Amino acid sequence: MLKPSPDTVHNLLISPWFSWFLSLVNKVTFLQEFFMKRVYLLRSNIIDSPPLYETLHDYPTVSAHTNNSLYARTLPPVPKDCPTPMGSKGPVELPHTDILMKFFQRTKFRPEPMGSSVLMTFFAQHFTHMFFKTDYRKGHGVTWSGHGVDVTSIYGKDVHVENMLRSFKDGKLKLQTLNGEEYPLYLKDAPVEMTYPASVPPERRFALGHPFFGLLPGLFLYQTIWMREHNRVCDILKQEHPDWDDEQLFQTGKLILVGETIRIVIEDYVQHLANYNLKLKFLPHVLFGENFQYQNKISLEFNHLYHWHPLMPDEFNITGSVYPMKDFMFHSEVVVNHGTAAVTDAFSRQRSGHMSHHNHGAATQYVLRDAIKTGRELRIQPLNNYRKRFNLRPYTSFEDLTGETKLAGELQKLYHDIDAVEFMVGMMVEKRRTRNLFGSTIVEVGAGYSVKGLLSNPICSPQYWKPSTFGGDVGFEIVQTATLEKLFCANIKGKCPLVSLRVPDFQIGDVDELSNFVVKDEL
C-alpha cells in the first residue's frame, strides 16, 4: 500500500484546504476515535519495530541496539586520547566542540516563531524531567528513570521521598502557608535529596519531588500547583468516600494525577507543539483489542532531542520586575514573593526562545556541549541515519538541512559530507518545519517516543482504564475533563490569571528568523 511521507501528513494536518474536513473530524466522536487510533498505532509501531539495519550499512558502529534505540550501547566508550572516529563518510576526526559551540551561542535573543510562552517551556521541562534522568555519576548512557509517566516529578523518586512529602492525613501532601498561599515545605522540614549549591540559604531551599527542581522558579511553580491539585482531588475523594483511609485516598489521588497529566500533555501541550488542525484527544480505549504493548523505555535519543535549552530566555519579566537568569536560578522565593497568579500570568505573556542554532543562553551552553560529547562517546549515529529510520527523507546537502546558505557553508567546511552530520548538531541547525517550533527530525522522532510513552502507561490499559481505578465516576470525570487552565484556576485563589502556552500577542510570521542571527566567518 502507498504510504504517505511524514512531511505529506504534516502538510495535510496544517493545510487550510483540509481544515474543513478536520473540523468535521473534531466534532464527530467515531471519526475522532478512528483518527486517534491511527495516530497512536502509527507513532507507537515505529518505536516498537526493530531497527532497519539495512539502512545503516555505511556506519561502522552498528552492532548492538535495543529495540527502540539506534545507539551502540554495548560498545566500549571511545578512549579519551583517541581521535573520535567517524563513520565511513566525512572527515577522520569530528569537529572540536569548541568550534561547534560558535554556532550555538546566543548573541541576540531569537524569539520562538510559533509564539510559545515561557509557561510552555517550563511545562516541557517539568513534565519531561520525570523520565529524563541520566545518572551522570554512573555514565551518560545510564538512567535512574522509571521509563514513563510515573509522576515522580511531583511525588519523588521513591517511597522514602514520597513519605517525606505526605501528611498521612486524608491522603494529602504536606504544604505550608507563605504569603497567604500554600507552598511545598522548606527542605529543613522535609529533608529529601535536593541539589542546591552551598550558597543557597535555608529560606530559599524547598523539598520538591525532583532533586533538580529548586533550579528554576518555573519548576517550583508547577510543583506547587500539582501538589495543591493532589490535595484538592483528595478533598473530593474524601467527600465521595468518607470511609476511606489515608492510604486509599493518597494512592487514588495519585492515579488521578497520572491521568490528568497524560490528558493535559496530549490535549494541551502536544496539541500546541503539533499545531495541527486535528484536535488531539486522549482516548485510551481506542487501543483495546489492538496489538499494543503497555510498557515503555526512555531512549537516549529521546532524551537528547528534548534538550530544548534555547527555549529559555535570558531574563524573566514578572509584572515589571526583571530577573536576569543569574538572579532567577535557585530563587524559588520569586514565586512566593509575587504569588502564583502573577507568576503564571507573567510566564503566559513572555515569549520563549527559538529552539535553534545561535540561541543557547550562557547558562545552558555547557549542557549542549556535554550532549554532543555524549553522542560521540556512545556513538550515536548521524542525523541522516535517524531520518531514514523514521521514514524521513535524508538531507542531500547542507543547504537542504539548514534552509539557508551561510551556516550551511560553514558546516560543510567542518563535516564535508551531509551524511556525517551528528544527530544532536543536526537537530540544532535543522530548518524549521512549516507552522512548527522544530525541524522535522525532532517532531517525527520525538512524536513516536512521546505517544508510545503516554499511551503505554498502565492506567491506559483495559484493566485500569475504568472509573473504579480513579475512585468512581467523579474521579474518572476529573481525569477526562482535565485541562491546563483548569489545573491552574482550580488551585489559585481569586481571579484566574492568563494560563497559556502561547503568548497572547503572537501573530504568524511576526519573527524574521533567517536574519536574526549572525554566522561568524572565522571559526
203 CB-near residues (< 8 Å, 6+ apart): 186, 333
Q: Does 332 bind ligand HEM (CB under 6 A)?
A: no
Among 38, 58, 63, 136, binds ligand HEM (CB under 6 A): 136
Helix (H) or strand (E) holding 384: helix 383-389
Grouping H, G, I as helix, E, B as strand and the rest as coil, residue 399 is helix
Query: Segment contacting ligand HEM (CB under 6 A): 127-135, 316-324, 407-415, 481-489?
Result: 127-135
Among 118, 120, 124, 165, binds ligand HEM (CB under 6 A): 124
Site for ligand HEM, residues 196 to 255, rule: CB under 6 A: 216
- Rounded to a whole number of angstroms, the minimum distance from the CB of residue 167 to ligand HEM is 29
270 CB-near residues (< 8 Å, 6+ apart): 280, 450
Looking at beta carbons only, is 447 or 519 nearer to ligand HEM? 447
Looking at beta carbons only, is 121 or 469 nearer to ligand HEM? 121
Query: Segment contacting ligand HEM (CB under 6 A): 121-129, 168-176, 263-271, 483-491?
Result: 121-129
Among 303, 332, 359, 457, binds ligand HEM (CB under 6 A): 303
User: How far apart are alpha carbons 381 and 343 in whole angstroms?
Assistant: 41
Residue in 40, 306, 386, 449 annotated catalytic: 306
User: How far apart are alpha carbons 262 and 254 in whole angstroms?
Assistant: 13
Q: Do residues 185 and 176 touch, judged by C-beta distance below 8 A? A: yes
User: How far apart are alpha carbons 330 and 327 in whole angstroms?
Assistant: 8
Q: Do residues 265 and 479 touch, judged by C-beta distance below 8 A? A: no
Looking at beta carbons only, is 59 or 316 nearer to ligand HEM? 316
Looking at beta carbons only, is 103 or 330 nearer to ligand HEM? 330
Q: Does 311 bind ligand HEM (CB under 6 A)?
A: yes
**How many residues line the site for ligand HEM (CB under 6 A)?**
20
User: How far apart are alpha carbons 215 and 194 in whole angstroms?
Assistant: 10
Site for ligand HEM, residues 414 to 433, rule: CB under 6 A: none
460 CB-near residues (< 8 Å, 6+ apart): 262, 284, 287, 294, 454
Among 274, 312, 372, 445, binds ligand HEM (CB under 6 A): 312
User: How far apart are alpha carbons 298 and 147 in whole angstroms?
Assistant: 5
Q: Is 129 a catalytic residue?
A: yes
| Amino acid present at 245 | D
User: How far apart are alpha carbons 97 and 425 in whole angstroms?
Assistant: 10
Residue in 126, 129, 140, 272 annotated catalytic: 129
User: How far apart are alpha carbons 218 and 188 in whole angstroms?
Assistant: 22
Among 7, 370, 417, 513, binds ligand HEM (CB under 6 A): 370
Closest CA to 511 of 432, 443, 444: 432
Q: Does 132 bind ligand HEM (CB under 6 A)?
A: yes
Q: How many CB atoms lie within 10 A of CB 169?
A: 11
- Give me 237's grid cell: 475523594
Among 28, 367, 514, 518, binds ligand HEM (CB under 6 A): 367
Q: Does 307 bind ligand HEM (CB under 6 A)?
A: yes
Residues 346-365, one symbol each (x = binds ligand HEM by CB under 6 A, - = not), give: -----------------xx-
Active centre residues (catalytic): 129, 306
Footprint of ligand HEM (CB under 6 A): 121, 124-125, 128, 132-134, 136, 216, 303, 306-309, 311-312, 363-364, 367, 370
